């Protein structure tokens, strides 16, 4: 049915979570087995408090993350979504991921709800820098302020522009497809429901069950996203 809905949809919006990135090799922060938060306390290392009180530990942790992202690249699923955007099949991508892989694959219309590791900005004056600064161990702005990744830290609100754009896109969607999100993080997990409430068909693709499965018109578990998107991209008959 999903392939049929894709073909018939006038406004498809994609919502991606950690499962989209793990297929590129990136570790999942919240998985029960290998999640990074099993090793680190987020309130002590990925928060505004850490940035202000434990700046060296904060920088060390995020330099490791920036370097980690550079080791990986978009997978075939990212490129299929970018191609669908060019063809008009997909209108917008809302993502919880901070790796920037959608843009690297060629997607233009992306709302990054939790920011990006591909950019830094000064905590004091707001000046923007490339994440390359961290790679070269440059951690301070010309004004003297600390350079931090342009991501949402614990204790911060979602970026206003990305949030409003995501809301508007969810409202306009007639097909809303979740790819690789447990839908456990608020307020990001409200967008599938917003789309559903405004008449969209809701598809949830995730390795494990989510609390939102009961609202979906179609649920797909235990499937790799890249393989599923290749299948949906083929010219075979609809599922």
Handedness of CA 45, 24, 91, 176 (dihedral sign): negative
Distance CA 129, CA 211 (A): 38
Domain end among 151, 174, 205: 151
Cα 201 from chain centroid (whole Å): 21
- The terminus-to-terminus CA distance of the chain in angstroms comes to 5
pLDDT tens by residue, 193-215: 999 999 999 999 999 999 999 99
pTM for the whole structure: 0.91
136 plus 191 within the same structural domain: no
The per-residue b/e assignment along 13-38, b for 16 or more CB within 10 angstroms, e otherwise, is bbbbbbbbbbbbebebbebeeeebee
**Looking at the structure, do residues 141 and 226 belong to the same domain, yes or no?**
no
- Residue 132's CATH number: 3.30.1600.10
Q: How many domains does the chain have?
A: 2
User: 35-44, 169-178, 211-220, 225-234: which has the minimum mean pLDDT?
Assistant: 35-44
Residues β-bridged to residue 95 = 16, 112
Same domain, 7 and 103: yes
Q: Are both 54 and 164 inside the same structural domain?
A: no
Residues 49-64: pLDDT tens digits? 889 888 999 999 999 9
Same domain, 8 and 57: no
The answer to whether 113 and 158 are in contact (CB under 8 A) is: yes
Asked if residue 99 belongs to a known ligand binding site, the reply is yes
Q: Is 98 annotated as a binding residue?
A: yes
Of the residues 109, 114, 136, 221, which is catalytic? 114
Q: Are residues 163 and 223 in the same domain?
A: yes
89 is in an annotated binding site: no
Task: List the CATH number of the domain containing 97.
Answer: 3.40.50.1220
CB 123 within 8 A of CB 148: yes
Q: Is 121 a catalytic residue?
A: no
Report the distance separating Cα 120 and Cα 108, nearest Å. Answer: 20
Known binding residue 212? Answer is: no
Residue 61 marked ligand-binding: no
Residue 231, domain extent = 1-26+74-114+158-238
Alpha-carbon distance of 19 to 206, in angstroms, equals: 7
Is 181 a known ligand-binding residue?
yes
pLDDT category at 44 given cuts 50, 70, 90 is confident
Same domain, 44 and 147: yes
Co-location of 100 and 188 in the same domain? yes
127 and 216: one domain? no
95 and 203 share one domain: yes
Same domain for 53 and 38? yes
Tell whether 18 and 42 lie within a shared domain. Answer: no
pLDDT at 5 over 90: yes
On whether 173 is known to bind a ligand per the annotation, the reply is no
Q: How far is CA 39 from CA 1, 13, 30, 94, 139, in A?
A: 41, 34, 11, 28, 24
State whether the Cα torsion 148-149-152-154 is positive or negative: negative
pLDDT digits over 119-154, tens only? 999 999 999 999 999 999 999 999 999 999 999 998
Cis before 187? omega within 30: yes
């Amino acid at each position: 049915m999903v392939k049929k809905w894709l073909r018939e949809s006038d406004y498809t919006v994609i919502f991606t979570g950690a499962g989209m990135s793990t297929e590129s090799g990136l570790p999942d922060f919240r998985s029960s087995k290998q999640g990074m938060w099993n090793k680190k306390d987020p309130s002590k290392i990925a928060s505004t408090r850490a940035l202000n009180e434990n700046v060296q530990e904060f920088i060390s942790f995020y330099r490791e993350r920036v370097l980690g992202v550079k080791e990986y690249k978009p997978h075939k699923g990212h490129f299929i979504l970018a191609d669908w955007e060019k063809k008009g099949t997909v209108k917008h991508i809302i993502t919880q991921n901070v790796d920037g892989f959608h843009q690297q694959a060629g997607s233009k219309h992306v709302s990054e709800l939790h920011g990006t590791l591909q950019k830094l900005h000064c905590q004091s004056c707001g000046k923007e820098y490339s994440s390359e600064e961290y790679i070269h161990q440059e951690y301070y702005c010309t004004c003297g302020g600390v350079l931090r990744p342009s991501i949402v830290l614990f204790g911060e609100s979602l970026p206003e522009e990305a949030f409003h754009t995501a809301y508007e896109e969810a409202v306009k969607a007639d097909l809303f497809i979740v790819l690789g999100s447990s839908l456990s993080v608020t307020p990001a997990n409200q967008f599938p429901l917003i789309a559903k409430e405004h008449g969209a068909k809701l598809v949830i693709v995730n390795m494990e069950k989510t609390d939102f499965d009961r609202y979906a018109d179609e649920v797909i578990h235990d499937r790799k996203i890249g393989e599923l998107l290749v299948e949906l991209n083929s010219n075979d008959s609809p599922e």
